Amino acid sequence: MSPTSTGTPSNGARVARRVFLPIAALAVLALAILASVALGSHPTSPSDVIDVLYGTADPNTTAVVESRYPRTALGLLAGLCLAVAGTLMQGVTRNPLADPGLLGITAGASAAIVTAMAFLGASGQASTVWWALPGALLAGLLVHVIGSVGAGAGLARLVLAGAVVSAVLMAYVQAVTLSRPQVFDSYRYWVVGALGGRDFGVLMSVLPPAALGLVLAVLLAPGLNTLALGEESASALGADPALMRAGGMLAAILLSTAATAAVGPIAFVGLAVPHIVRALVGVDARAQIAFSAVAGPALLLLADVAGRVVLRPQELMVGVVTAFVGAPALLLAVRRMKSTA
């Protein structure tokens, strides 16, 4: 009986799959980038984008298309950071429901922004990122220290630490915003999550932690495959499970911090993308991280485009759209995982 007759893919099918999947993923990402630049509340077309690139478009079209460059770049960075962070967290904690919000990142950034607005006179998107960045980073590190250091440290304590820190910080945020309506008016635009209204300065300010987190993720990927075998097996193979978990969590904290500080809390990307990628490429952490770095930006950019065109000329925040886009995709991925189990 041939391999294909027993349901096992042949060598040729596996090779074709390995070649087709990367090409298809990159093609979808390229289309998402083109759509993000070409489509929006002001109608333009791909030919207009080409004219802008060659410098032959009229000034109005040029201004409209060029105004979409920063949000497209931020969508690429935030989608990559959130998806890779979610992949790392689900791999390190072995929790399929883990996402960047588990680390208190969103709560930390929210608390820092509200504090700056209420007591330090901060306002506007330009200053928001400078307060969100340290707030998110400190909250993530605090959760990691509480959950991973000392007697009784473990995955359950890490999850509990994230829940406790997030609850305390969000209670503080609610207390401040309810007592200061002017702060709530500014905070509510950030807390939904959006790519618009930001420039390349925001991108450059969060690029260092994002780059460091991505480098750590790539370096840790082979070790995560070993960690997936269990702590005893990983130790027998020469790996340090505690060090691998700490490195993975640090990378996830850096990536989540960069994305949240730049564009606000955007749900579902860090949760849904790892499931979708795992259903396509399997359990290899290296392949999961690579494909998450492509699928995350594609999902976020397409969600942003949908938010711009559905209510044209108004815009729907991308943080709202990702829930509608990500939920069905996650359900399909889970169904496929059950069917192949």
Q: Are 74 and 287 in contact (CB under 8 A)?
A: no
pLDDT value at residue 1: 45
Would you tell me the crossing angle of helices 318-340 and 285-310 to the nearest 10 degrees?
A: 140
Q: Are 107 and 187 in contact (CB under 8 A)?
A: no
> Taking the model in full, what pTM does it have?
0.85
Contacts of 282 (CB under 8 A, 6+ apart): none
243-296 pLDDT, tens digit each: 888 888 889 889 988 898 888 888 888 888 888 898 888 888 889 999 999 999
Confidence band, pLDDT 50/70/90 cuts, at residue 168: very high
Q: Which residue has the higher pLDDT, 331 or 36?
A: 36
Closest CA to 193 of 299, 306, 317, 108: 317
Q: In this structure, what are the phi and psi dihedrals at residue 140, rounded to the nearest 5 degrees?
A: -65, -40
Q: Pick from 14-23, 31-40, 314-323 the range whose average pLDDT is largest.
A: 31-40
Q: Pick from 112-116, 167-171, 275-279 the range whose average pLDDT is largest.
A: 167-171
Q: Which residue has the higher pLDDT, 340 or 144?
A: 144
193-228 pLDDT, tens digit each: 888 878 888 889 889 999 999 999 999 888 887 776
Q: Which residue has the higher pLDDT, 232 or 293?
A: 293
Q: Which residue has the higher pLDDT, 199 or 33?
A: 33
Max CA distance (Å), the chain:
74
DSSP per-residue string spanning 196-237: TT--HHHHHHHHHHHHHHHHHHHHHHHHHHHHTT-HHHHHHT
- SS3 of residue 317 by DSSP: coil
**Segments making up each domain of the chain, as ranges:** 9-340
pLDDT value at residue 127: 66
- SS3 of residue 260 by DSSP: helix
Closest CA to 84 of 294, 319, 325, 224: 294
> Domain 9-340: which CATH class?
mainly alpha
Would you tell me the crossing angle of helices 155-179 and 125-148 to the nearest 10 degrees?
A: 140
